[in-house]
Amino acid sequence: MPSIDRQAPPPAASQPDILAALGWRPFFADQVEAGSNDGAQPVRVVEAHRGALHVLGEGVDRIIPGRADVVVGDWLLLDPVEAAEPATSRLLERKSLIKRRAPGLERQVQMIAANIDTAFIVSSCNQDFNVARLERYIALAFEAGVTPVVLLTKADLCDDPAAYVEAAQAIAHLAPVLVLNARLADAQSTLATWCAPGQTVAFLGSSGVGKSTLANTLAGNEAIETQAIREGDAKGRHTTTRRQLHLPAGGYAILDTPGMRELQLTGAEAGVAEVFADLHALAGQCRFNDCQHRTEPGCAVRAGVGHGSIENARLERWMKLVAEDKHNTANLTPGKANTAATRKADRRMRKKSRS
């Protein structure tokens, strides 16, 4: 079994109301009553590897065999009768699931985390900031059923943080945008609305933006390793290498994640439509159902650009995300032929999605 460091999440099993802190709630409890799982114990997966799961529950702090259908954040019912083979435990229905196209050449969907309530989309007030990337993350969160909140870190290192806030607000009108210094304890009160008892929050974003720093600030300690970014280009050093749920005092859960190099959407049509709701609505008025919004007559979207009501760069970002999501959704379907043409299209998509 690959090693999972049991000490990594703080000694949560000693907390009196561990299940509540882990996010146990009627949505999950109702699934237990409905089934015949007498004596089964709910546990939450706080870390998942291919070969092993670290689960916590009331009086439970165990490493059990891994399974491909389980991701960090999942709830399992550990059946005591099957204690020797807990891999057969029942996986409870998820409240939310964050997923993307797996990075690299594998043509697969990768689950990132389950049962997250709030996704803190973290970016810094420096070269890391990128509106197209923010839109991607927000679409991902909407699709997953998770509330997105944009956090702009390193305000203290920036002469004009207001310019970043304004740029983020312009595209992320559906998500609150907060600017902060991740290293200051003030961040606790700034984020208190979302870090309420029983909630699970996740930090997502590129390497070096301060996800682990924020997790430490919220917990009031330095338990998670952090590392200075490179001076020249402000890029992070990929310090965090695994997704882990942490339980700070305060009765909620924090998921810290490794910085993502690449975030390609898949199965996210509704999420993209929500981020670009105005363009999506206009597209419904185009003369042709399959309008590509390029040169077709009767294109309501192009007309909007012509009137100056739609920014061309934003239109391009939307079309790119729609095309990428369509491509991945079609090509990650099991059984789809792995042809030279799809591989070539894949490479094009991957190149475009790096930002």
What the block records as the tokens of 44 is 């939450």
- Region near ligand GTP per CB under 6 A, out of 2-10, 84-92, 202-210, 281-289: 202-210
Q: Please give the backbone phi and psi of residue 343, each rounded to the nearest 5 degrees, phi first.
A: -65, -40
Rule CB under 6 A: choose which of 108, 227, 285, 339 binds ligand GTP: 227
Told to check if 244 binds Mg ion by CB under 5 A, we report no
Closest distance of CB 281 from Zn ion, Å = 12
Q: Which is nearer to Zn ion, 211 or 293 (CB)?
A: 293
25 binds, among ligand GTP, Zn ion, Mg ion, none (CB under 5 to 8 A by kind): none
- Region near Mg ion per CB under 5 A, out of 21-29, 171-179, 236-244, 344-352: 236-244
328 binds, among Mg ion, Zn ion, ligand GTP, none (CB under 5 to 8 A by kind): none
Of residues 240-259, those binding ligand GTP (CB under 6 A) = 240, 258-259
CA angle 231, 234, 235 (to 5 degrees): 115
Residues in CB range of 205: below 8 A, 6 or more apart:
121, 122, 123, 128, 137, 211, 259, 260
Closest distance of CB 258 from ligand GTP, Å = 5
Closest distance of CB 47 from ligand GTP, Å = 15
Told to check if 240 binds Mg ion by CB under 5 A, we report yes
Q: CA distances (Å), 79 to each of 18, 40, 64, in order?
A: 19, 4, 12
DSSP 31: H
Told to check if 56 binds Zn ion by CB under 5 A, we report no
CA distance 195 to 134: 21
Residues in CB range of 208: below 8 A, 6 or more apart:
124, 128, 227, 229, 230, 234, 235, 236, 237, 239, 259
Told to check if 293 binds Zn ion by CB under 5 A, we report yes
Strand-by-strand arrangement of the 52-57 sheet:
60-65, 52-57, 41-48, 75-78, 90-91
Number of residues that bind Mg ion (CB under 5 A): 4
Of residues 69-88, those binding ligand GTP (CB under 6 A) = none
Told to check if 161 binds ligand GTP by CB under 6 A, we report no
Rule CB under 6 A: choose which of 83, 157, 192, 270 binds ligand GTP: 157
CA distance 130 to 4: 34
247 binds, among Zn ion, Mg ion, ligand GTP, none (CB under 5 to 8 A by kind): none
CA distance 298 to 300: 6
Rule CB under 5 A: choose which of 301, 310, 315, 322 binds Zn ion: 301
Residues in CB range of 191: below 8 A, 6 or more apart:
120, 151, 178, 201, 214, 218
207 binds, among ligand GTP, Zn ion, Mg ion, none (CB under 5 to 8 A by kind): ligand GTP
313 binds, among ligand GTP, Mg ion, Zn ion, none (CB under 5 to 8 A by kind): none
Rule CB under 5 A: choose which of 212, 266, 328, 331 binds Mg ion: 212
Q: H or E stretch including 344?
A: helix 340-353
CA distance 183 to 47: 25
- Contact residues for Mg ion, defined by CB under 5 A: 211-212, 239-240
- Contact residues for ligand GTP, defined by CB under 6 A: 153-154, 156-157, 181-183, 207-213, 226-229, 236-240, 258-259
- Contact residues for Zn ion, defined by CB under 5 A: 286, 291, 293, 299, 301
